[in-house]
Structure 1
């Protein structure tokens, strides 16, 4: 199913008026003569593409400098769910909207300067910001599709070439974050400790419990998996938050930095060269950016975004590749903190491995959902017949049932389904 055919309309924010857009464009283009002539609004993402915000694409036609000739372009507008939406109630407790606005307004421009000026990489790192409106919890971005950036297919996942490119860019992002914190020690002091697992809120607990229970129900359809794993999944329901918090606790010997926190296929955009090979990757959606171990980005990325033959078999190789890129970037950027050895970093990666179980068993099924049910956080939270039908559908598809035959043994062999 194509993304276009899977788009579901949503009401545009009432404040997103022609007058509002014209005012912001005048500031962005630094041209008070700009006059908005037409504004077209439509959904920007499809069913199952995003569970934490509303994305709208706006097409604008305008004149400038007194000319009668119309110019046109598009932008993306990211807004919160309505106040009464169950998703908003969950997300507000994590400070995601204020954090992402802070990222685009304060942090990402600094990181881009470090990567460009000290790492010598002139490639784009993130989408340019048109406007941050804290009163409305909204951000207007460049539409990177105009520069031929596009998101890879969340169903087909990423191949080897895309994976190495993402790891290279991730190493630069992490190195720049560590250097920025070293130079401005308090820059990540506020609101950067609220990832999916943290010591302050368990707002995601009902979501995680409901999804694990749906996984358990799906195992009824396979007697072999049921016998081997259902009791372990049932036990995990009551312990998922404890284990998640344990996996994100920062140990004294850990190398830590600013991590993306939600690094999966649809939060990465690629640009391609004339031969169709990926030449750049940029990250989007910084709502769950946190100060923590880079290992959580790696686990989350590996288990949600890589093709099946890569994500389980080549992890040590990918960690080594990422680590060498990270060390090289840290040296170039003159980071003075302690850099672990590869052996130490592999141990750190293993110590955060419950993030792999969380990502693959709880978050990946909604990420790759391609069924007919309404895909939303409200449906995950709901115990209505409709909500239960959606959650069951997540795990009972033929593709997900096939995948569980590989994923469950992989996690179980690492001890991630046993008591921890």
Structure 2
């Protein structure tokens, strides 16, 4: 595996092992219960980034999930249990080793660390999606156009600032079906890809997961049940690991989810079409495609030639509008 992100190296070499150790206190005899990711066996740095040699998770019976179909309710609960364990272990690590956690870079959305392609990709994705629905839902399309502004990035920076969160955890940043493996026999899941990990609110990961990964026909409509399951697993893990701080309840976690709702919009517009992509649309879809305007336009045309995707996007956009997620009062040009 190759990465150019400083967060990933720190996560693999220091933070994930420390979090595994914390969870191992509560589950000393069950590797599948507390294992968060593949062990990093070797890391080689170069001027371009890092090359990682990770353990083969196939030997532990972890396999990929069905990306195009999405997670059913049972699979979603398995993945949310691992997310809860990840967040719980990080809360304890924040208390026990604050200096280590402080080594994590801030979010790519903060002004000083903003990842260049994100603003361009989000603007282009928003414009294309708005154009698709402009005749059917003109009011929503107009509001989406207004999202292409500096105000959107300010909202993102605000929710990504850990100082604005009432619950602080290490977030994964992109906890979707593409970055998860599952052991079906043990009913356990595992995370991959920690390039966007940073300190933040659990609401960020929850919103990203809910709007990219569940199967639309089943699990998507049962998000309250899934959120309750996450909260139950979070409380259980914190208690089992001897956490001495205040354990967040459902109301607090849900308030963070609502506060971070703009992250749902970001996930649905930019990532959901990729998750739902057909095999044909997925072919030759890589970073170079994302960075090439003409190639990305052609790829979007393929992505949106997908009836189930359009149905799901229509539903989530209506929900965003009802919940005032699309409201922006500063329609300034995108930087």
Would you say 1:256 and 2:168 are equivalent positions?
yes
Report if aligned partners of 1:194, 1:200 keep a CA contact under 8 Å in 2.
Answer: no
The structure 2 residue matched to 1:392, chosen from 301, 309, 321, is: 301
Report if aligned partners of 2:122, 2:269 keep a CA contact under 8 Å in 1.
Answer: no
Give the structure with the higher percent helix.
Answer: 2
1:13 is aligned to none
The structure 2 residue matched to 1:381, chosen from 274, 291, 300, is: 291
Long gaps (5+) in structure 2: 330-335
TM-score (norm 2): 0.88
1:8 is aligned to none
Q: Which has the higher contact order (CA 8 A, sep 6+)?
A: 2
Would you say 1:148 and 2:71 are equivalent positions?
no
The structure 1 residue matched to 2:317, chosen from 408, 415, 420, is: 408
Report if aligned partners of 1:265, 1:304 keep a CA contact under 8 Å in 2.
Answer: yes
Would you say 1:365 and 2:273 are equivalent positions?
yes
Structure 2 CA distance, aligned partners of 1:237 and 1:374? 28
Report if aligned partners of 1:214, 1:392 keep a CA contact under 8 Å in 2.
Answer: no
Cα RMSD (Å): 2.1
Give SS of 1:140's match.
strand
Give SS of 2:187's match.
strand
2:140 is aligned to 229
Give SS of 1:127's match.
coil
Cα shift at 1:175: 0.9
Query: Would the alpha carbon gap of residues 393 and 219 (structure 1) be closer, same or farther in structure 2, given more than 3 Å must change?
Result: farther
Equivalence map 1:262-277=2 (5 Å)? 262-273=174-185
Residue-by-residue CA offset, 1:208-256 (whole Å, 9 max, x unaligned)? 1111122123225xx223x232111111112432222233233556111
1:44 is aligned to none
Greater C-alpha Rg: 1
Give the structure with the higher percent strand.
Answer: 1
2:133 is aligned to 219
Structure 2 CA distance, aligned partners of 1:200 and 1:188? 18
Give SS of 2:321's match.
helix
Q: How many residues align?
A: 319
Report if aligned partners of 1:79, 1:138 keep a CA contact under 8 Å in 2.
Answer: yes
TM-score (norm 1): 0.71
Long gaps (5+) in structure 1: 1-77, 81-91
Report if aligned partners of 1:158, 1:307 keep a CA contact under 8 Å in 2.
Answer: yes
Residue-by-residue CA offset, 1:87-146 (whole Å, 9 max, x unaligned)? xxxxx5xxx2x2212211111111112112234543133212221112351101112123
Structure 1 CA distance, aligned partners of 2:45 and 2:165? 37
Query: Would the alpha carbon gap of residues 191 and 185 (structure 1) be closer, same or farther in structure 2, given more than 3 Å must change?
Result: closer
